[in-house]
Amino acid sequence: MWGPRVPDARWLWSNRVLEVVGDHVDTELGEIAEELLAMKSQRRYLLLGIPGETHWARVFAAVDQLLACAVEVLRAAHDGKRCWRLIAEVQIMTRFDHPKLVRGYDVGGQDGWPYVVMELCDPDLETWAAGKPTTDVIARLVEAGRELEAMHGERIVHGDIKPENVLLADGVAKLADFGLAGPRGWSPRVRGTVGYIASEVGDGYRELSCDVFSFAATAWVTLLGRPPCGPPRTASTSAAAMVQFERVREGELELDGIDRRRPTSAIVKALRPALVPEPLDRPTLAEFLAQFESLTEPKGLLGRLRARAQGER
């Protein structure tokens, strides 16, 4: 048990909470219920495991009496700068009332460790997409893209779009990890994840077009299995970033080993405009999503291929 003390030590565990705990301890629900009811701790949260990490925090799957949740705790206690970043992340999460945004529930501190309580989600998009129909994967990408579009409507840059930051909850894609989110402008630091960063980020620019590039790179990785301008796997982070920026500026897309036949060729064609070197030449996110989503419509290539496959069954 962890977190602030609660005045009432009686725990009323819901079926959802029991299921989440059962997923982590592999025990019959009846036994889990008995053990939970016997707990004497007055701490608020029961931490179950570490499903993931952000740039500066660990994210625990947890339960809070009737609530299944995720608790993000800073790796370094008493770190004022990172604490403010955590608070800024919560402000972004609560600023947008959108169903495809990971929801924030609470924020606090325990023994000098700042934390955020948020919605508990299932695997990230890349993990979920394995073996799924391409049309379903595109639908989930578009769902996350709509939330990013809402952020862009407020002139907010996410700053770190990648498959690990698109999570699934009850089959719906949700955009997550707003630790690098903020207004447009100039930044002296290169922020983001190598393989998904637009080349202008290396020059200090922080614009909505950077997210468009990162989102298209995320779609490329999820659908085609590798970054579009991926650096060598053995390179250091700084060297990898420099290699990636150079490849983006040269317009080099990683096509080796990718099946050029339909429907892959249609996916590559749809993603290319958002991956061009010049930010002003990229479509807006709304334009990109409209073109990307059209692949799955009945008259689109993927829609026609799916209808044909269903007709042959």
Q: What tokens appear for 58 in the block?
A: 């660990």
Domains of the chain: 2-119 (3.30.200.20), 125-309 (1.10.510.10)
Parallel/antiparallel/unpaired status of strands 166-169 and 104-110: unpaired
Q: Which alpha helices (H) appear in the chain, and where do they start and end?
A: 15-25, 29-38, 80-95, 125-129, 134-153, 208-224, 237-249, 264-271, 285-293, 301-311
Kindly give the confidence (pLDDT) of every residue in the chain, 313 residues in length, as a single tens digit, with 9 standing for 90 and above. 667 777 665 555 667 777 777 777 777 766 766 777 677 667 778 888 776 777 677 888 888 766 778 888 877 666 666 677 777 777 777 776 666 678 878 888 888 788 888 888 888 999 999 999 888 999 999 999 999 999 999 899 999 999 999 999 888 999 988 888 888 988 877 788 888 998 888 888 899 999 999 999 999 999 988 888 766 555 556 777 777 778 788 777 766 555 544 567 888 889 999 999 999 999 999 999 999 998 887 666 666 555 555 554 5
Residue 57 buriedness (CB in 10 A; 0-12 / 13-18 / 19+):
buried
pLDDT of residue 105: 81
Nearest 5 degrees, angle CA 75-CA 80-CA 84? 90
Tell me the C-alpha distance between 23 and 80, whole Å.
35
Tell me the C-alpha distance between 170 and 187, whole Å.
37
Q: Quick check: 60 and 73 in contact, CB under 8 A?
A: yes
Q: Quick check: 61 and 120 in contact, CB under 8 A?
A: yes
Q: Write out the DSSP string of 163-207.
A: GGGEEEETTEEEE---TT-EESEE-SS--S-TTS--GGGGGTEE-
Of 180, 181, 161, 178, nearest to 222 by C-alpha is 161
Which residues pair with residue 313 across a beta bridge? none
pLDDT of residue 297: 76
Report which residue type is found at 266.
Answer: A
Eight-state DSSP code of residue 273:
G
